[in-house]
Amino acid sequence: MDKAFVPMNKQSLRDKMKSYRRHPGSFILLLLVLLAAVATVAVLFFLVGYILIKGIPYLKPSLFALEYNSENVSMLPAMINTVVMVALALLFSVPFGVGAAIYLVDYAKKGNKLVGVIRITTETLTGIPSIIYGLFGMLFFNVALKWRYSMLSGAATLAIMVLPVIIRTTEEALLCVPNSYREGSFGLGAGKLRTIFRIVLPAAVPGILSGVILAIGRIVGETAALIYTSGTVAGVAGLMDSGRTLAIHMYVLANEGLHANEANATAVVLLVVVLLINWVSSRIARKFEVPKQ
């Protein structure tokens, strides 16, 4: 928060009550606003609390067995798949995302038409719902490139999906690096490349990292984009095999309706993992926030 909000008319509580008695409309507005705030917070705590309380009793060791079968509906293979999926998707999207941000911040000249187009397309990518990504991934990676249902095609689809997240956060992080850093580096005789890789990028790492972690959170929680790209086969999958991530595992369990308790437990794990990831991301972003110029 840049500026703390200080009301000009500091009053005592009694004055305030008096004023509210004279202006009942204001009082109603205040109540409405407070109500909305309480409702939002209450909904979050109810949602998280309900899922935790419902699911934690069913967290059994058999849910983390190495082999999946219809008896134990173990989620460990799905967790391993999720890790693989995250690694693959980041492998595709981070170099391209960071490269694109570097181009936008450090190379593109002002008024460059291409930059406008890139911004519009990145914004478009942000707005596209995940089911459309899933449809596209199925048509392009699974069918046109003949990758079939595979982890690889799922990861490629997700890579495109999180690309705008990474571009935007990296761009912000690069913009936060003071220009004096760049000028100092140029002044010492370093070229542009050296300046970028040795000076600008290291200074921007925390910002980039928080974007990457945010992207991980999205990948872990994604379902619709993966159902028809990486498929729903349970069990640890190879690169070109179909495999389900934790979110899809959760979806299949909830949809079948045969393993309600296990679905509860899986929801707990998924929720905790995603919330932790997001929390770490925002912590990093705040801790290393570079002061703006």
Taking a C-beta distance cutoff of 8 angstroms, is the pair 230, 151 a contact? yes
- Least distance between other proteins and beta carbon 67 (Å): 24
The nearer residue to other proteins, 136 or 181, going by C-beta atoms, is: 136
- Least distance between other proteins and beta carbon 262 (Å): 12
- Least distance between other proteins and beta carbon 248 (Å): 8
Sequence-separated contacts (24+) of 286-293 with Cβ below 8 Å: 287/206, 288/206, 288/207, 288/210, 289/176, 290/173, 290/176, 290/177, 290/178, 290/203, 290/204, 290/206, 290/207, 292/176, 293/178, 293/179
- Least distance between other proteins and beta carbon 53 (Å): 12
The nearer residue to other proteins, 39 or 91, going by C-beta atoms, is: 39
The nearer residue to other proteins, 227 or 234, going by C-beta atoms, is: 227
- Least distance between other proteins and beta carbon 96 (Å): 5
- Least distance between other proteins and beta carbon 17 (Å): 12
The nearer residue to other proteins, 61 or 127, going by C-beta atoms, is: 127
- Of 157, 119, 115, nearest to 135 by C-alpha is 157
The nearer residue to other proteins, 36 or 87, going by C-beta atoms, is: 36
Distances (CA, A) of 144 to 17, 81, 177: 69, 24, 42
The nearer residue to other proteins, 77 or 137, going by C-beta atoms, is: 137
The set of residues, in sequence order, having a beta carbon less than 8 Å from that of 89 and lying 6+ positions away, is: 155, 156, 158, 159, 162, 215, 219
Instruction: Tell me the CA end-to-end span of the chain in Å, nearest whole number.
Output: 16
